[in-house]
Amino acid sequence: MNSGILPTRATWMLDVVALAMIAVTLVLLFSVYLARFKQAYRGHRTVQLVLAVALLIVIVLFEIDMRFISDWRAQASKSIYYASGWVDRWLWIHLSFAVPTLFLWAALVVMALRSMGANFENLTHRRFHHRLGWVGTWFMLMTAVTGWIFYWVSFVA
């Protein structure tokens, strides 16, 4: 029985997160484009803050659903990969990116808000933010990719 919005065994919330990560990835790449190629730092900051708040809300709702409402394992146990342990392996691989990404993004946002200033004049922090921002971008992309693989292995196959 499908309780989600996609034709899979996933719950509604898992479907929403899987689809939302497509939007998050595109918005993230647009935000990087604004900073890197257009030097539109205010636009980059605005997009990143909106994205960070939206992700925080979705993560909290997602965790509440996974821990207290949904029985995702019951649906994942129907996967051809469940008995072999690949569902759990992909979950751990995904979490190895998702958890550090949460802390990395939080650090990036807090440090940027404290250090950049209204005119983005702190060049020392800007260079550090640029380097750490690329790490955060790659971690977010890997969070999305491993999340989609986990979703497919657990609820599609």
In tens, the pLDDT along 103-130 reads: 999 999 998 888 876 666 666 777 888 8
Judge whether 128 lies within some domain: yes
Of 25, 52, 152, residue with least CA distance to 94? 152
Distance CA 126, CA 132 (A): 10
Q: Which pLDDT value is given to residue 41?
A: 87
Judge whether 59 lies within some domain: yes
Q: Which pLDDT value is given to residue 127?
A: 81
Which amino acid, residue 31? Answer: S
pLDDT single digits (tens) 2-30: 678 999 999 999 999 999 999 999 999 99
pLDDT single digits (tens) 46-100: 999 999 999 999 999 999 998 999 889 999 999 999 999 999 999 999 999 999 9
Judge whether 38 lies within some domain: yes
What is the number of structural domains in the chain?
Answer: 1
Judge whether 7 lies within some domain: no
Judge whether 6 lies within some domain: no
Domain limits at 54? 12-156
Judge whether 2 lies within some domain: no
DSSP 157: -
Of 111, 107, 94, residue with least CA distance to 150? 94
Task: Report residue 156's pLDDT band, with 50, 70 and 90 as the boundaries.
Answer: very high
Element of type H or E holding 149: helix 123-151
**Cα angle value 151/48/144 (rounded, 5°):** 15
Q: Which pLDDT value is given to residue 146?
A: 98
Distance CA 65, CA 27 (A): 25
Judge whether 94 lies within some domain: yes
Per-residue tokens: 135: 């790490």
Judge whether 16 lies within some domain: yes
Residues 6 or more apart from 157 whose CB is under 8 A from it? 79, 80, 81
Which amino acid, residue 38? Answer: K
- Residue 16 near residue 73 (C-beta atoms within 8 A): no
